[in-house]
Amino acid sequence: GAVVSQHPSWVICKSGTSVKIECRSLDFQATTMFWYRQFPKQSLMLMATSNEGSKATYEQGVEKDKFLINHASLTLSTLTVTSAHPEDSSFYICSAPGDSLTQETQYFGPGTRLLVL
């Protein structure tokens, strides 16, 4: 089946620094990937759609200059949290649509826990 990985699985950083999170589709290509954020005891909130070869599209209320997304290749999307603050502490999850055999299915990464001190 389609596998999506994320790196790192968890990260702790100081306030004001930037953190990069990678999302990879391991055995399939993904021209589109999605980034979600999940706070404790809450559902996943879609942040943005990452598009290979073009700019990401952001959901309303998500600051594009703070959450930089780069879809560098057909298997890699990165989310950079710039000038992170404690309120950015959350669980970040990416997803990608499956391949032609499972094209209507989204596959999710294991998530990245970010803690900003």
Q: Quote the least distance from Cβ 116 to other proteins, whole Å.
A: 17
Amino acid at residue number 59: E
Beta carbons of 34 and 95 less than 8 angstroms apart: yes
Q: Dig out the tokens for 96 from the structure.
A: 């990608």
Site residues for other proteins, 66-85, by CB under 8 A, read: none
| Interaction mask 26-65, other proteins, x per CB under 8 A | ------x-x-x------xxxx--x---------x------
> b/e per residue, 34-51, with b = 16+ CB within 10 A?
bbbbeeeeeebeebbbbe
The verdict on 8 binding other proteins (CB under 8 A) reads no
Rounded CA-CA distance 62/43 in Å is 16
User: Given candidates 4, 30, 79, 116, which one binds other proteins under the rule CB under 8 A?
Assistant: 4
Chain residues that interact with other proteins, rule: CB under 8 A: 1, 4, 6, 32, 34, 36, 43-46, 49, 59, 91, 93, 95, 97, 103-111, 113
